[in-house]
Chain A
Amino acid sequence: MKNFTIDVKHITRVEGHGNITVRVRDGEITHLELAIVESPRFFEAFLRGRPYHEAPHITCRICGICSVGHTMASVRGIEAACGIVPSEQTVLLRKLILFGEHIQSHVLHLYFLAVPDFLGAGSVIPLARTHPTVVQRALRMKKLANDLCAVVGGRHIHPIAMQVGGCSHVPREGELQDIRKRLVDCREDLDETVGLFAELKFPQLNRPTEYVALKHANNGEYALYDGDIVSSHASQVTSPQAYRSRVLETVVPHSAAKHCASPYSHEYAVGALARFNNNAEQLHPAAKAVAAQLGFTAPNTNPFYNNTAQLVEVVHDVESSIELIDTLLAQPLELEPIVPPRDFGIGVGATEVPRGLLFHEYALDKDGNIEGSNLIIPTGQNLANIEADMRAFVPQLMSAGMGKEEMTLHLEMLVRAYDPCISCATHFLDIQWED
């Protein structure tokens, strides 16, 4: 098969709308793109003029699946712009709800979006009949993560209590104890999940690339809520405030979607695999043990192992949540006053959300209204890297003698492995449909 065109309109089982186009002539790729056809939302434009404290409530609506993550980057960006230092209790509660979102998002991706490919199903729905215990386990874990978010923030989708300067609600002790017990019980489900994934065979695609993530200095925690920017390609550590020197946004004519490059590479990856590759040493011991059990070591350069990295992270997140709840329960939780702004200026919030590194930058005017903002989402940063993976993957699939249908499935699986969240398209340009 030397001449063919693959044209997948609206890739399924991803968040948001995207298309894959690959054209091969005489055995050479003449055209390849992952196009983003999500409607533009204009968040950065309409944030202008809104008061600073509305930013997290508005920007969490960028995405239903990462709304806690957007809330975290937003409160931190606004607080940096206002000279606000949140209380220790606030930071602990934020870290807890962020663990909840990571667990919920990874479980959703692993079981609902990725696993059906490996079990030969078109969705999780037929699996409810053929593999009921697998589906029930997935639902149980997902519900636990949602309930954790709800206890801390009021709800998982568009949390209410996480505000600039503090929390407008704190969980009751009994609620935290109940969640803690369920997290402990969840270890059994995690073991089963590890067993399931140990049996899945991922396609082999090894393409070393640059991995970018947040990191705490050597003895610190596995960075999610905060940290400095690090990369597999540079020894230099960059503060989030200087992110513009590390994330170079460019307009790419062929897909007309803004892509991100780094000063070191044309493309780079963010997300669970990038975090694992940079910070595996800082994972919880239980997560390290699971990685070892799965023979998964850093650096791993196969993008399909983003799934494995997510699984290892779920173990880390569950164990760390248990420890965090113990810390929170050591003293009575109090509804603290919201910390007011000191002054208004410019600030950046960088947070590791399930799909990778998220930046929110805000400029506030003298009255505390938003003058400008820049929101850089993980999927935007991964786009160029996914395309580079597809360029490497297509010749490999051709030489394996695959037909078009099988090749299409493999390309879709590759895109899905990144768990792309196209709804977060604050920054994507439109493309023309190709027939």
Chain B
Amino acid sequence: MKPRIAIFSLTSCEGCSLAILELEDQLLALLGGVEIVNFREGMTERAWDIDVGFVDGAVSTPQDEEEIRKLREHCRTLVAIGACACLGGVNTLKHQQPPLEYREYVYGAGAKWFPTTSARPLSAVVKVDYELPGCPMVKEEFLHFVKCALTGKQFRLPADPVCTECKKLGNLCRYEKGELCMGPLTRAGCRAICPAYGSVCEGCRGLLGADAVAAAREVFPARYGVPFDRIADRLRLYGAYQDDGENAISGVLQPSR
């Protein structure tokens, strides 16, 4: 029997769901191998007996929290897709301001109608089986995950930094240009797409781990004269680094099973 697949969105831009539709060349083959039973953005029918549920978006409202708990119950395997679901994503930028302030700035007197919570990754609320990070998620990695799931192979995220892929492409290192790039701290798997297109890595795929952060605390101030606060600030863009304790690296992805 074909695995029953579903795709859901919490607080997000739905770009990761959209990225699945952007697998145009493989989409029909993919549809041959699985049965999509619930995907609000693309179909009317909605069923709840689900083998693998992919969820994009952060948990950012009480409704999101209710929804993710319900999805966890209905999905045998739950997969977080994209920076919002894996790290909290750009939604976490609101944490830099007091809640009442950001709500009133946008909605004025209507702010009281807004039940909102801090923006959290799915794993902060429920058990997540796999994470496919990135803003947006890397669609080739998604495809690889589905192939692994269909053939019973083990899926693992790359365990090295973006720099390894960047070097292979022969890109000029952003540090040679005097720029601050998050590549050394960030999990590979994106084919260093931002440096390849003339930008710095912004850390959207999450931190490699505590060791990388510890090294950054030492190396950036000593070697580049950059205080760690500036690095932390960069890493906050997608929620990879959050201020919830002295050595907080809550944006580190869960080790994949």
Q: Which residue of A lies closest to B204 (CB)?
A: A158
Q: Cβ of A21: which chain B residues have Cβ within 8 Å of it?
A: none
Q: Which of A26-34, A140-148, A200-208, A340-348 has 4 or more CB atoms under 8 Å from chain B?
A: A140-148
Please provide the 6 A-B residue pairs with the shortest distance between their CB atoms, ordered closest to farther: A64-B15, A168-B198, A123-B43, A154-B197, A45-B102, A122-B44
Min Cβ gap A398→B in Å is 23
Evaluate contact between B106 and A58: CB separation under 8 angstroms. no
Using a CB–CB distance below 8 Å, which chain B residues touch chain A?
A: 9-19, 21-22, 24-25, 27-28, 31, 36, 39-46, 57, 60-61, 63-64, 89-91, 93-94, 96-97, 101-103, 105-108, 110, 113-116, 135-136, 193-194, 196-199, 202, 237
Complex Cα distance, B61 from A85, in Å, reads 41
Using a CB–CB distance below 8 Å, which chain A residues touch chain B?
A: 10, 12-17, 37, 39-42, 44-46, 48-50, 54, 57-58, 61-65, 67, 108, 112-113, 116, 122-125, 128, 135-136, 139-140, 142-143, 146, 153-158, 160-161, 163, 167-169, 251, 256, 335, 423, 426-427, 429-431
A-B contact count (CB 8 A): 177
Q: Cβ of A46: which chain B residues have Cβ within 8 Å of it?
A: 90, 93-94, 96-97, 102
Contact of A146 among B16, B24, B89 (CB under 8 A): B24
Min Cβ gap A378→B in Å is 15
- Can you name 12 A-B residue pairings with CB atoms under 8 Å? A12-B46, A45-B97, A45-B102, A54-B237, A64-B16, A113-B42, A122-B45, A140-B24, A163-B199, A168-B199, A169-B198, A427-B106
Complex Cα distance, B110 from A40, in Å, reads 12
Complex Cα distance, B14 from A287, in Å, reads 31
A40-B116, A49-B96, A142-B21 are known; give 12 further A-B pairs, CB within 8 A: A12-B40, A14-B41, A15-B14, A39-B61, A40-B103, A41-B91, A50-B93, A58-B90, A64-B15, A143-B22, A155-B193, A157-B22
Contact of B42 among A124, A136, A161 (CB under 8 A): A124
Q: Cβ of A430: which chain B residues have Cβ within 8 Å of it?
A: 113-115
Complex Cα distance, B84 from A61, in Å, reads 10
Complex Cα distance, B28 from A153, in Å, reads 26
Complex Cα distance, B136 from A12, in Å, reads 22
Q: Cβ of A54: which chain B residues have Cβ within 8 Å of it?
A: 237
Evaluate contact between B193 and A154: CB separation under 8 angstroms. yes
Evaluate contact between A15 and B41: CB separation under 8 angstroms. yes
Evaluate contact between A112 and B42: CB separation under 8 angstroms. yes
Min Cβ gap A303→B in Å is 20
Q: Cβ of A112: which chain B residues have Cβ within 8 Å of it?
A: 21, 42
Evaluate contact between B136 and A64: CB separation under 8 angstroms. yes
Complex Cα distance, B135 from A150, in Å, reads 15
Q: Cβ of A16: which chain B residues have Cβ within 8 Å of it?
A: 14
Min Cβ gap A47→B in Å is 8
Q: Which residue of A lies closest to B193 (CB)?
A: A154
Q: Cβ of A124: which chain B residues have Cβ within 8 Å of it?
A: 42-43
Min Cβ gap A230→B in Å is 29
Q: Which residue of A lies closest to B39 (CB)?
A: A123
Q: Cβ of B63: which chain A residues have Cβ within 8 Å of it?
A: 37, 39
Complex Cα distance, B10 from A430, in Å, reads 15
Complex Cα distance, B12 from A174, in Å, reads 36
Evaluate contact between A158 and B135: CB separation under 8 angstroms. yes
Q: Cβ of A154: which chain B residues have Cβ within 8 Å of it?
A: 193-194, 196-197
Complex Cα distance, B11 from A65, in Å, reads 15
Q: Cβ of B42: which chain A residues have Cβ within 8 Å of it?
A: 12-13, 112-113, 123-125
Q: Which residue of B lies closest to A139 (CB)?
A: B24
Evaluate contact between B106 and A45: CB separation under 8 angstroms. yes
Min Cβ gap A423→B in Å is 5
Q: Which residue of B lies closest to A147 (CB)?
A: B24
Q: Which residue of A lies closest to B11 (CB)?
A: A39
With known contacts A45-B101, A64-B19, A123-B45, A160–B194 Cβ distance under 8 A: yes
Complex Cα distance, B22 from A65, in Å, reads 11
Evaluate contact between B197 and A39: CB separation under 8 angstroms. no
Min Cβ gap B91→A in Å is 6
Q: Cβ of B193: which chain A residues have Cβ within 8 Å of it?
A: 154-155, 160
Evaluate contact between B15 and A157: CB separation under 8 angstroms. yes
Q: Which residue of B lies closest to A140 (CB)?
A: B24
Q: Determine which residue in B10, B11, B196, B198 has the highest number of CB atoms from chain A within 10 A of its CB, and name it.
A: B198
